[in-house]
Amino acid sequence: MARQTVVKMTMKKGKLPMAQDWKVDLVWERDWNLGLVGRTLNELGFLGTLYGGFPRYRYQRLGIPNEKIRTRPAAALWNYGISQLKLPAYLQMNEPKRMGEWVARQRQHAPAVLVNGTAYRFLFPKILDRPILRIVERGSMFPEDFFRFPQKARQEAGYSYKNELPLEIVDEMKKAHLAQATICGSDMVRQSYLTRGFQPETLYTAHYGVRLGRQLKAKHEDPAGRNLRVGWLGVIGFRKGLDRARRISEWANQRNISLEFHFVGPIQDSESHEILRKFLCPYILHGVQKGAELEKLIQSWDIYIQPSYEEGFPISLLISMSAGVPAIVSHDTGACEAVRDSIDGVVLSEYTPKYLDHKLAALVKSQSLRIESGFQAKKRISENFTVSNYMERIKQIHLILQKQRALWREFIRRESEARRVIQ
């Protein structure tokens, strides 16, 4: 496997480059977390050019200045059409490849490039000899984990699964070592890279945060005569732990606990529909919701649930907790870095009836406990996981990266001089 490039050399004493001299180009195939990352870099004065794979308006509405946006949405639009028409998958374009190669062809770049997604597989190999610091923004686990956890979910739910790594995942794992810095969305994401031999000094944790200016407030209505509303926000499928939620519904049904699941988001595939039909508690599919409608739903929830198999640090969880909704999360994701077990909610490591009796019974049966846990959840987010907290951490990281880039630029200059002497 290719080894990570870590430059270790002495540097003459002097000031770090001024903030106005430090810019970072963003390469974003989609718009995952871009609103937070892009606006943060822009407010800090660090944002260079955003290279995006979606139509321009998608980035404008996230608060990215129009003059900083360059897009090539043809591949995304083409693939969307192929999907909608249910045409063969081989007709789809390789979006990460087109994105990476397009950005590599640009004559001018900022001192650093930050990639979200997998376009780095095609971009980084083409800029190795250029004085550009190569950074990856990672909200999910190391690529192998990102592949294997959903397969584990499928296996536990009784569906077919794969053991052999796809070639693109193998390539992604190799190319990940070309990054000179990886900014991880949680400590668990960072740990998944450390266990693969990545240098600790190249891995940075920056927990995402939410803006608290317009705070939501859970209603915690009297539960008498109604079902407890259990909220879910995000993709409805295997990786997010849909079958684990089904097992909770079975447990609640056996214990005569009246739960009602509220799913907000797209359904991943036909197999997810099959799992939903096995729920023994009622559920409502709200589809994709935004704005006032989403806020209204969140405020009506008694409990939030995210029993994922693989998750970095979900912003949807932070939003719900900031409204005062206690959360149920799994122990094998970064979500447990936000939720303190038996304080802000519950962290689950098993889904057997006996275990759920021990962990969940008190929370679902006691309104006063839900209100107290919700209060603690709201306090937890407001004190630790806000946009301001995130911005301060990103500022600290980029001050370090400025110095690292200066070292890398000097390294490139010396290598070029050495080659000229040899020739």
Share of residues in the chain with pLDDT > 70 (%) = 91
Read off the pLDDT band of 405 (50, 70, 90).
confident
pLDDT tens digits along 166-191: 999 999 999 999 999 999 999 999 99
The closest alpha carbon to 365, from 243, 255, 242, 218, belongs to: 255
* 351 and 298 housed in the same domain: yes
394 shares a domain with 377: no
Residue 86: the pLDDT is: 87
Does 23 have pLDDT greater than 60?
Answer: yes
Asked whether 124 and 4 are in contact (CB, 8 A), the reply is no
The answer to whether 32 touches 118, Cβ cutoff 8 Å, is: no
Model confidence pTM above 0.85: yes
Same domain, 179 and 290: no
Mean pLDDT of 357-382: 97
Total domains in the fold of the chain: 2
Per-residue CA distances from 252 to 47, 290, 301, 304, 351 (Å): 49, 29, 17, 15, 12
Is the pLDDT at 9 greater than 80, yes or no? no
Does 332 reside within a domain? yes
CATH (domain of 28): 3.40.50.2000
- Nearest residue to 64 via CA among 84, 40, 93: 40
Residue 110 lies in a domain: yes
Q: Name every residue whose Cβ is closer than 8 Å to that of residue 405 and which is 6 or more positions away in sequence.
A: 111, 112, 131, 133
Q: Which amino acid is at 104?
A: A
Cα–Cα dist 205/182, whole Å: 9
Least trusted range by pLDDT, from 83-87, 117-121, 176-180 = 83-87
High-pLDDT (> 90) share of the chain, % = 83
Predicted local confidence at residue 418, as pLDDT: 54
Q: Is 10 inside a domain boundary? A: no
Please name the helix (run of DSSP H) or strand (run of DSSP E) that holds residue 144, with its range, or none. helix 143-156
Return all residues near 14 (Cβ < 8 A) that are at least 6 apart: none
Q: Is residue 13 in some structural domain?
A: no
> 259, 252 in Cβ contact below 8 A?
yes
370/408 same-domain check: no
Nearest to 103 by CA among 118, 113, 117, 93: 113
Q: List, for residues 276-285, the tens digit of each pLDDT value.
A: 999 999 999 9
The answer to the question of residue 5 being in a domain is no
List pLDDT tens digits, range 251-273.
Answer: 999 999 999 999 999 998 899 99
**How many secondary structure helices (H) and strands (E) does the chain include?**
15, 13
Residue 354 shares a structural domain with residue 396: no
Whether residue 141 sits in one domain with residue 85:
yes
Are 305 and 170 members of one domain? no
Is 408 a domain residue?
yes
Length of the chain: 423
Residues 329 and 345 in one domain: yes
> 298 pLDDT exceeds 80?
yes
Question: Is the residue at 221 inside a domain?
Answer: no
Dihedral of alpha carbons 77, 266, 31, 185, sign: negative
The per-residue pLDDT of the chain, averaged, comes to 91
What is the rounded average pLDDT of the residues 197-205? 95
Residue 241 DSSP symbol: T
Q: Give pLDDT, residue 216.
A: 85
Torsional sign, CA 188, 193, 197, 201: negative
**CA 124/CA 367 separation, integer angstroms:** 53
pLDDT of 10 above 50: no
* Per-residue confidence (pLDDT) for residue 412, from 0 to 100: 61
30 and 162 both lie in a single domain: yes
Does 239 lie in the same domain as 190?
Answer: no
pLDDT bracket for residue 310 (50, 70, 90) = confident
Digit-coded pLDDT (tens) for 51-75: 999 999 999 999 999 999 999 999 9
Helix, strand, coil % (nearest 5) of the chain?
45, 15, 35
The range of the structural domain enclosing residue 69 comes to 19-209+387-422
Q: Between 419 and 375, where is the model more confident?
A: 375
- Angle between the N-to-C axes of helices 242-254 and 353-365, in degrees from 0 to 180, rounded to the nearest 10: 80
Which residues lie below 8 Å from residue 159, measured CB to CB, with a gap of 6+? Answer: 238, 271
Q: Does one domain contain both 92 and 197?
A: yes
Radius of gyration (C-alpha) of the chain in whole angstroms = 23
Evaluate if residue 18 carries a pLDDT over 60: no
Mark whether 53 and 83 lie in a shared domain. yes
Q: 3 lies in a domain?
A: no
